Structure formats: structure tokens, C-alpha cells
């Protein structure tokens, strides 16, 4: 049993962190925090605009701050952006304050799910497949370093993933303090 104050969803773009996160939060009576949405609300501008104005490092600074604030609380389910694991400070913080679930999907499935996406700054390249492969190679070990649970979300619909994730979380996680 893992006792942590929060649940954190990590994993690549398109893995379903936001859509599954919202529903899991409801099921476990947790406050849902979507980090990217939070950053957009805080700054009043979109993620692509932040990338454009401040570069990726500027976005990562905001992301780090936003994650750290979200994790200070408890009883939250936090959906992160795919690059949150890049900074060591974030990885440590997630491990300290969260029960981390890695949602895995293949590059092929990412390509399918994100085919119509024109917003994600890191996908504004001619060869998306190549980009996604590079990101996966770079990030997979970092996701693994943080993950308490690895969940294969690849070929699963949202309802099916939920059906599997709910008992898995029940079996592995209790909110901090609840173990007595
Ligand atoms: C990013 C993923 C995005 C968003 C930003 C950068 C990444 O979030 O944070 O575009 O580095 O993989 P999603 O994983 O929700 O798409």
C-alpha cells in the first residue's frame, strides 16, 4: 500500500491524462487539477503562446511552479503535461507527495489520437512520428523512475481504462493519514 497525499498522472501526450484524470478524481472524491489548464488560467494565455513568448524553458519554469503548488495540497488528482518529468526537481516532488500512475501509449496510437491536434507546440514539426519517438526515448526512463504503477492505456477506451484503473488504485493507494 502506498500512502501519499495526492494522485499524479504522468505519461506522454495523448495518453488520456486529462480525460481519465477528471473521471478518476470524481470516483475517488479528489480535487481535479489539470496543470496545463492551470498554467493557462494563471497566465491568461495559451500554452502555445507561452512557448512562443518565453520559449520551452519559460514554460518549464511555470510548469514547475504550478506542480509544486498543486502538490503542496492534498486530496488532489493532478494531471500533468508530458514533459513534467524532465526536471529532476519535479520528479522528486512527485515521488514525495504523490502516488504516480504512468499512462503508457505507443507512438502509433499517439499519432492517431493527436492527428487533428494543431495546438501542441512540440508537434509543430514536419515529421511528427520522428519527434514522438525521440520524446519517448528520452522520457520513458524518466517516467519509469517516478511511476508507482505502470498502466498500458494504448488500445483501451476511456471507459475500459477506468474500469481497470479504479480497482488498481483501490488496491495500491490510500490517502495519507488513512492508514492510521
Ligand atoms: C508537453 C505536453 C503538453 C503540454 C506542453 C508540453 C510535453 O501536455 O504540457 O505542450 O512536453 O510533452 P499533454 O501531455 O497534456 O499534451
CA-nearest residue for atom 15, ligand 1, is: 81
User: CA 180 to CA 173: how far, in whole Å?
Assistant: 14
- Ligand 1 mean position, distance from CA 28 (Å): 25
Looking from the CA of residue 83, the nearest atom of ligand 1 is 11
CA neighbor of 9 nearest in space, from 85, 60, 120 = 85
Q: pLDDT at position 2, please?
A: 84
Segments in the chain below pLDDT 50: none
Q: pLDDT at position 179, please?
A: 64
CA neighbor of 172 nearest in space, from 100, 73, 76, 97 = 100
Burial class (CB in 10 A: 0-12, 13-18, 19+), 141: exposed
User: CA 85 to CA 70: how far, in whole Å?
Assistant: 15
Q: pLDDT at position 176, please?
A: 75
Looking from the CA of residue 36, the nearest atom of ligand 1 is 9
Looking from the CA of residue 79, the nearest atom of ligand 1 is 15
Q: pLDDT at position 104, please?
A: 97
- Ligand 1 mean position, distance from CA 80 (Å): 8
At 52, phi and psi to the nearest 5? -65, -45
Q: pLDDT at position 148, please?
A: 97
pTM: 0.96
At 156, phi and psi to the nearest 5? -105, 140
Q: pLDDT at position 180, please?
A: 59
Contacts of 50 (CB under 8 A, 6+ apart): 39, 43, 58, 59, 62
Please write the tens of the pLDDT for every residue from 139-164: 999 999 999 999 999 988 999 999 99
Q: How would you classify residue 75: left for phi > 0, otherwise alpha for psi between -120 and 50, otherwise beta? A: left
**Pocket of ligand 1 contains residue 33 by CB under 6 Å:** no
Looking from the CA of residue 86, the nearest atom of ligand 1 is 11
Considering the chain, what is the average pLDDT of its residues? 95
**All cell numbers assigned to 118:** 494543431
Amino acid at each position: 500500500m502506498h500512502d501519499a497525499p495526492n494522485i499524479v498522472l504522468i505519461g506522454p501526450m495523448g495518453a488520456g491524462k486529462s480525460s481519465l484524470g477528471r473521471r478518476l478524481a470524481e470516483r475517488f472524491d479528489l480535487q481535479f487539477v489539470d496543470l496545463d489548464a492551470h498554467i493557462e488560467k494563471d497566465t491568461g494565455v495559451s500554452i502555445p503562446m507561452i512557448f512562443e513568448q518565453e520559449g520551452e524553458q519559460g514554460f518549464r519554469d511555470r510548469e514547475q511552479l504550478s506542480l509544486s503548488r498543486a502538490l503542496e495540497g492534498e486530496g488532489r488528482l493532478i494531471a500533468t503535461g508530458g514533459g513534467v518529468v524532465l526536471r529532476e526537481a519535479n520528479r522528486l516532488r512527485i515521488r514525495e507527495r504523490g502516488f504516480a500512475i504512468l499512462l503508457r501509449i505507443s507512438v502509433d496510437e499517439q499519432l492517431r489520437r493527436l492527428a487533428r491536434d494543431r495546438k501542441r507546440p512540440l508537434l509543430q514539426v514536419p515529421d511528427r512520428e520522428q519527434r514522438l519517438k525521440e520524446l519517448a526515448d528520452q522520457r520513458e526512463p524518466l517516467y519509469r523512475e517516478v511511476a508507482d504503477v505502470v498502466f498500458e492505456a494504448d488500445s483501451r477506451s476511456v471507459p475500459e481504462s477506468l474500469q481497470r484503473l479504479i480497482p488498481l488504485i483501490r488496491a495500491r493507494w490510500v490517502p495519507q493519514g488513512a492508514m492510521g
